[in-house]
Amino acid sequence: MTAAPQAKPNEADAIIVCENLSKRFRMGDETVNALQGVSLTIRRGEFVSIMGPSGSGKSTLMNLIGALDTPSDGSIAIGDTVLRQASQAQLAELRGRTIGFVFQQFHLLPRMTAAQNVAMPLIYRRDPVTDGEERARRCLERVQLANRMNHLPSEMSGGQQQRVAIARALVNDPLLLLADEPTGALDSRTGAEIITLFQDLNAAGLTVVLVTHDERVAHAGTRIIRMRDGKVESDTQNTDIWRPNPAA
Amino acid sequence: MRLIPSLQLAFASLKAHKMRSALTMLGIIIGVASVITMVSIGQGARDKIDSEIRAMGTNLMMIFPSGGRGPVRSADSATPLLDRDAEAIKKRISGVVAAAPVRFGSGQIVTSGKNWESQLYGTNNDYLIARNWVVADGRQFQPLEERSAAKVVLIGESVRKELFPNGGAIGSTIRVNRTPMQVIGVLASKGSGSGQQDEDNVLIVPLKTAQSRLMGSGDRIAGEVHAIFLKTSSQDIMASVQGQVEDLMRERKRTPESADSPVRIGNLTEMMALRTATTRTMTALLGAIASVALVVGGIGIMNIMLVSVTERTREIGLRMAVGARPEDIMSQFLTESALLSLVGGLIGVVLSLLLVVAISMTGAFDISLNLQIVAVSLFFAGLVGIVFGYYPARKAARLNPIEALRYD
């Protein structure tokens, strides 16, 4: 892992810069090209949807953007950090500092309260914080769950659990929120609420990357990247933004 | 991640599976408790031997005629020992502090309606020196009493307790084997009577008195004794004194070089050292067997930690996704297994304390608790937790976060 200034001066607000990104896996005797020469840039404040059928490489791309994996070829810059080869420990630090993950299955720890779940990532910081409870409370307020601080996940609905997970993703003030099928385990009404929450957070300045195979959910973003066979098929600004806003 | 959150995490996780944690700990509990108890039993045996040595007398050597075995004489006993031999040894060999000729026998005591049997020694004051025995009340024999076969007797503490429970022993007359004898002293208690023989149930009379009045009939040679007790001035010279005694006795008994030695010499310190070594071996063996329990307990911990890692694969993936480094995961699981074994170890210590108290109350074994072994076994319990927790923890730390998150 090498730290370098911004990759290109004319893209001062770029958060993710992928250049000619490739990822190969060995499956038995075969080599699978999960990603081939993907180049893209995600800028501060964008709401990017990454779409594609399964096997299109969108999950692999997401793992690379989320610093869960390193590319076989090409380079990816996350924030100020250009990533080529990095150890698990270095990747972990990058994940903790810059990326907030939201998963389809929420991944809350069942024996911890909402507040404890939200504060959990703080214990892995290299620079420990003392105001963990206060931070957790503020993040739960941002997802309108301040009144559920001391509830266990089992005492909350799916939508509430996902909002706790989003609060957890926010607790380290990440550069971007990376959501993998966040509405996949929710009914459409609750899913719509979560989409609205993402749009609100985005409106407040947070960069959001949403990975989905649901056409309608993808239209919540301001930009849609379609993947096919490990390549970017199309990368367009979305003019027809879906605003579920069920309250209205 | 720092220690306090690590510990909190480990506690929470152990609390979440109370039954499982308790059962896993059981192995360590049994291991630690048995190590401590076993070693304490071994230690108790050793302490007992130490106290026996102290009671027996230090730097003590016993000379028996080679044909006989201790006080029991075989039919064609070799040249008997004489009281003059003791005098010669004391005079001619330097470093001999005391040389007491001894006759063993038993004394039937009758006094004012009470009947009591005890061991009877005919000897002189040197016997008390050799055995580190002091007269607690009254006095030793006077030279005249030794020469004139006076009817005087020193009694052991057990005899006093039995015959004179309310005091007044000194100056009283008791009948020993029908001969009236005057009590001139009471011996201090040896107090080692926790075994076969009560050392304090003893009567000591001058050698001449024993020979001529109490049990001398049937002697082949006048002045025959059963043994000579020697005390040397130091431990170091015992071997050389032993050689000199043998040479001297060969000379006095006119035994040719080719023949066996006329005497058998028992070096008590040596015998005791041998027994001490035996007990030490026994202690080590008991400790080793008990350690097996500890190791088995460790395997139990490894087993349960492997289950725990598998069960919590997604949790591990999540923690990695939010910034946990492999070493954070590693330390989380190591803390958990170390905590498991340390808590088990502490419970084991408490259990062993109860066991030691219970065993010492029943009196089945001599037992003495060694605080050092408590510390050592606690340390090893913790070590077992870390050693056997290492493999599962490493397995957890090496998980790929992408696969771990997808695991179900």
- Answer whether B293's CB lies under 8 Å from B30's CB: yes
Q: Is B144 on the interface with A (CB under 8 A)?
A: no
Mean pLDDT for each 10-residue chunk of chain A (248 residues)?
A: 44 84 88 91 94 89 90 88 78 89 92 93 88 92 92 94 95 93 91 93 94 92 94 92 72
- Contact at CB, B324 and A92, closer than 8 angstroms: yes
Residue from A107, A161, A180 whose CB has the most chain B CBs within 10 Å, to mutate: A107
Does A8 or B139 have the greater pLDDT score?
B139
* pLDDT bucket at B68, cuts 50 / 70 / 90: very low
Q: Compute and round to an integer the Cα radius of gyration of chain B.
A: 33
Specify the pLDDT at position B220: 64
Residue contact A92–B314, C-beta within 8 A: no
The count of C-alpha atoms lying within 13 angstroms of the C-alpha of B397, restricted to the half-sphere facing its C-beta, is 18
Which residue has better confidence, B364 or A58?
Answer: A58
In degrees and rounded to multiples of 5, residue A47 shows phi and psi of: -120, 95
| Contact assignment for A101 to B321 by CB distance below 8 Å | yes
Q: Which of B22, B33, B21 is nearest to B293 (CA)?
A: B33
Is residue B61 classed as helix, strand or coil in its secondary structure? strand
Cβ contacts (< 8 Å) between A168 and chain B: which residues? 322
Average confidence (pLDDT) over B183-193: 80
Measure in Å the smallest separation between the Cα of A246 and chain B Cα atoms: 31
- Quickly state the pLDDT bin for B217 (edges 50, 70, 90): low
Q: DSSP letter string over B313-365?
A: HHHHHHHHHTT--HHHHHHHHHHHHHHHHHHHHHHHHHHHHHHHHHHHHHTSS
CB atoms within 10 A of CB B156: 25
Q: Give me the residue from A93, A95, A105 closest to B321, CB to CB.
A: A95
Q: Is the dihedral of CA B398, A111, A121, B21 positive or negative?
A: negative
Chain B contacts in chain A segment 15-34 (CB below 8 A): none
Q: Please state the pTM of the whole predicted model.
A: 0.73
Tell me the pLDDT tens digit for each residue of B278-298.
Answer: 888 888 888 888 889 889 999
A60 touches chain B (CB under 8 A): no
State chain B's mean pLDDT as an integer: 85
Chain B partners of A107 at a C-beta cutoff of 8 Å?
314-315, 317-318, 321, 405
Collect all residues of chain A within an 8 Å Cβ-Cβ radius of residue B323.
Answer: 92-93, 95-97, 121, 124-125, 172
Query: Distance (Å, rounded) from C-alpha B389 to C-alpha B304?
Result: 9
B328 interaction partners in chain A (CB closer than 8 Å): 92, 124
What digits encode the pLDDT tens for the residues B338-356? 999 999 999 999 999 999 8
The region of weakest confidence among A58-62, B108-112, B215-219 is B215-219
pLDDT of residue A8: 44
pLDDT value at residue B78: 61
Q: Find the CB nearest A63 among B318, B327, B402.
A: B402
| Nearest chain B alpha carbon to A63 | B402
Q: Report chain A's C-alpha Rg in angstroms.
A: 18
Which of B135-149, B198-212, B262-276, B304-318 is the most confident on average?
B304-318
Distance, CA of B232 to CA of B291 (rounded, Å): 43
